[in-house]
Amino acid sequence: MRERSERSPAGRATAREPDGDGVRGRSHRADKVSDSAVEGMPPIGYGGRPAALRDALDGRTMVVSDPVNIRWLTGFGGSLAWAVIGADRLVLITDGRYAQRAAAELAAAGVDADIEVGRSRSEIRQRVIDAAGVDGPVVAEGGHLTYDAWSELATDLELEPARGVIERLRRTKDAGEIARIERAATFADAALADVAPSLADRPSEIDVRDELEHRMRRLGADGPSYDTIVAAGPDHGARPHHAPTSRTIQSGETVIIDVGALVDGYHSDMTRSYVVGEPTDEQRRVYELVLDVQRAGVDAAVAGCAAVELDDACRARFADAGFGDWVLHGTGHGVGLVIHEDPFVTSTSQDTLAVGDVVTVEPGLYRDGFGGIRIEDLVVVTRTGPRTLTSTPKDSPCLPSRPTT
């Protein structure tokens, strides 16, 4: 790798906010995990990714602006970067804050690239243009760049929008990626095992959320994979993505807990639902129906299965049982460097499950006055069938017993 200027720019960007050139991040945390959390895991196969992308581009040059895609391609996890990949050169452009980090992370990833460091936003932009300076169209991430950023680049480059070029490659997880997702899942499993029994002690939804996130960090996670959901009672439990409040959890209520951990940039995702106290006949009936549908959905998550057919099958079973209008969301989604990514298991999906996909299977039923029940596992699609990465028991709506030690 060859590194150039190391002066800091005047501009600044974060993974969630657009910088002056319109680079916008998504659901991606860039912090690097401690070495202990990834100890013993296989490495991620960064070295072959530039060649795989070149094959997909078929001789075209691409400007990559999405921090998630840059991390997938190069191993660099900083909050500001551009990557330009052509037939014979890969260039990573960043600012002075990240010069040393970029060199270290690309070296660790085994990625051969030039690293260029701009001193200002305008200099960074010019370096991108110079690196992509070819006759003819240059592929850029139209779904990621702002209108202003696209327009600025288009004054010097003939741009054409990329449509899922890197996202399609990201779908197939290698052994190193799956190991990190599975480690994240074990952290969430362990935290929930410790915290779930405390639902009987009348904590608030916020108390439960905070304790789960604290325990995942103590176990070794970088943090939560997303905003942890704790949705209790006849109203909050009927909202699939309820934000926890100070409301106290009461006996007799349903409680949905949707929790995941983050390890080395990779997410996990799991939901378990409980009834505080002895379930009513209706609560037990709804729970057992969701569990039955969810287990069937996991079994159906095999290579070659059309995502829309999996979603339709789950919806049909709910409808046949008289609960069709209790269904408020799709059956699942892909998980990786982003918590919601391809493939999506929904009624409008055009995806087909393939070996290497990591997907959730999370059917749920919700009704104001009742609350909600959702059960979610994280599954990797293998050549021999689905392998579940989450392990928290789900056979009963009753709270688990407290640990004995």
State pLDDT tens for residues 129-142. 999 987 789 999 99
State pLDDT tens for residues 157-200. 999 998 899 999 999 999 999 999 999 999 999 999 999 999 99
Stretch 290-319: mean pLDDT, rounded? 98
pLDDT value, residue 34: 54
Stretch 281-302: mean pLDDT, rounded? 98
Q: Which residues of 167-206 are buried (b: 16+ CB within 10 A; e: fewer)?
A: bebbbebeebbbbbbbbbbbbbbbbbbbbbeebeeebbbe
Q: What secondary structure letter does DSSP report for 37?
A: G
pLDDT class of 28 with cuts at 50, 70, 90:
very low
Q: Tokens representing 25? A: 């991040």
State pLDDT tens for residues 64-85. 999 999 999 999 999 999 999 9
Mean pLDDT of the chain: 91
pLDDT value, residue 13: 30
Domain ranges within the chain, ordered by starting residue: 2-169, 175-388
pLDDT value, residue 405: 62
pLDDT class of 404 with cuts at 50, 70, 90:
confident
- The answer to whether residue 296 scores a pLDDT higher than 80 is yes
- Cis peptide before 240, with omega less than 30 degrees from 0? no
**What CATH architecture is 2-169?**
3-Layer(aba) Sandwich (3.40)
Stretch 207-224: mean pLDDT, rounded? 98
Q: Tokens representing 290? A: 């969701």
Stretch 138-151: mean pLDDT, rounded? 94
pLDDT class of 20 with cuts at 50, 70, 90:
very low
Crossing angle (nearest 10°) for helices 67-74 and 49-57: 120
pLDDT value, residue 86: 95
What phi and psi, each to the nearest 5 degrees, are found at residue 404?
-85, -10
- The answer to whether residue 384 scores a pLDDT higher than 70 is yes
Q: Provide the residue type at 69 as one letter.
A: N
Percent of the chain with pLDDT over 70: 91
Percent of the chain with pLDDT over 90: 87
| CA distance linking residue 358 with residue 42, whole number of Å | 17
Stretch 342-348: mean pLDDT, rounded? 98
Q: Note whether 393 and 400 are within 8 A (CB).
A: yes
In sign, the C-alpha dihedral spanning 351, 355, 358, 362 is positive
Q: For domain 175-388, is the CATH number 3.20.20.100?
A: no
* Residue in the structure block whose two tokens are 């070029």: 165
- The answer to whether residue 266 scores a pLDDT higher than 70 is yes
| CA distance linking residue 130 with residue 355, whole number of Å | 39
pLDDT value, residue 170: 97
